[in-house]
Chains A and B, each alone.
Chain A
């Protein structure tokens, strides 16, 4: 429980910051696809008897890069849908091989606050720090190419490279978040809170900070509620994120 609290806090901050770019680039589908595909990694790790985070850390970037690479020329939404399906299919195959109990499958998909070990705390700290450092390092080109791709290209920003870096950031957040929040609901944290923040704040830095704050509130509420009710944390994350998004929209609409 205390472990989940620490990891959840890191997850909230990093998901809020990276999610700002997810919303800005209109990349909800990718943010949903990468965690889902990485389910194969977690299932494969279960088969090999190693830590789920290790499997996630290998498969999430692979999935992100194959989506980016296959989608260069073809219709990227079709390719994304197919890559996700193939990796999920592989995940179901690994599950069939390893005879996992239904509860473990369920935890991987919908999150498990009791499934966080001591080792994962340090791993999450490292991954979270890497994620924030990555955002800081590519902040300007990433922002420029998200808002205005053509002027960015004329200023020498390489759109393809930035896209790859963005996908790697998403996969980093995925690897640390899936054990806590689950593969199916992870993306709710990367879309709902940043979208709410974006409609409230004007400057990018403020939107990022506010997004991280709202994501933190979402995660903390969800962990507490899941602990009290024993209901799955994924339920609370999905519903809280949507409710906060709705509240932010209503607030801006009322202020006109």
Chain B
């Protein structure tokens, strides 16, 4: 383990992972409360467009993720149909078209430039190959994201749990929703740097959903979600580092796999106390459902 703490890529991975985990815990609680997992997932997939375009233009994929995430999130909310089913189909169709274009960009990446691994890097992430300059950039974006949530906290919470009451009280519900989705877009961009675009929803939704099983109070849930996300990310980095010596290939297992697996385990573990309580309640007399 002595090599672990002196390795440059490990420092970058731990720093970048921490920034993404904390902001996605805070934002993720609202994503789960608002039932926007599909939107978060769609934004992650759409980030593929930005990541593959960034590879083609030879810029840091972070800015591709952030740019596309923010723009697409805004467009989704503006064009989103108010009816839930209409939104479902609209998201699906837009997502299909964008993924199609991403396919073309990745194809051009692999044929016209020498980045043969672009597909795997963008889709499944490669935390160990993040550039050291990404860490301060990601930390800055994460801090900005947490600050926005803190500033918007009350209107956001009210319009999430009780939209009608919020609009009666004069909260601009549509505007809050627009701002929040842009924030989700930026957050997903950060998690995409850690685990790749198609795995990014796991880090956004998993710790937050687990935390909401532990506590229904949003501030507590946010802190727990950030802690769970951080634990899962760092555990993933450590395990991936250790897996260099594991079979079958001795080439190391992908860090994204470990992070996602840890997120899933913490989600199931967070559900255990509740499941035990439900079982006891079912056995006991006069249980309220």
Contacts and interface: CB of A to CB of B under 8 A. Distances in A.
Are A and B genuine complex partners?
yes
Contacts of A88: 124, 198-199, 260
Interface centre among A27, A92, A106, A182 (most CB of B within 10 A): A92
The A interface is mostly helix, strand or loop, or mixed, namely: helix
Contact of B93 (A96, A97, A102, A242): A242
B180 interface: no
Contact of B103 (A89, A185, A242): A185
Interface in B176-194: none
Interface residues of B, number: 56
Chain A's interface size range is 35 or more
Given A32-B92, A75-B35, A195-B93, A110 B106 contact: yes
A81 B103 contact: no
B242 interface: no
B279 interface: no
Contacts of B206: 81-82, 85
A36 interface: yes
Given A110-B103, A195-B93, A235-B104, A84 B253 contact: no
A234 B103 contact: yes
B264 interface: yes
A150 interface: no
A238 B97 contact: yes
Given A78-B205, A242-B97, A85 B123 contact: no
The B interface is mostly helix, strand or loop, or mixed, namely: helix
A103 B263 CA distance: 30
Given A85-B202, A185-B99, A241-B93, 18 more contacts: A23-B89, A29-B88, A74-B271, A78-B209, A80-B37, A81-B41, A85-B199, A90-B257, A96-B257, A102-B110, A110-B106, A185-B96, A188-B100, A195-B93, A234-B99, A234-B100, A238-B98, A238-B101
Lowest 5 A-B CB distances belong to which pairs? A238-B100, A188-B96, A85-B202, A28-B92, A242-B97
Interface of B: 32, 35, 37-38, 40-41, 45, 84-85, 88-89, 91-101, 103-104, 106-107, 110, 116-117, 119-120, 123-124, 196, 198-199, 201-202, 205-206, 209, 248-249, 251-254, 256-257, 259-261, 263-264, 267, 271
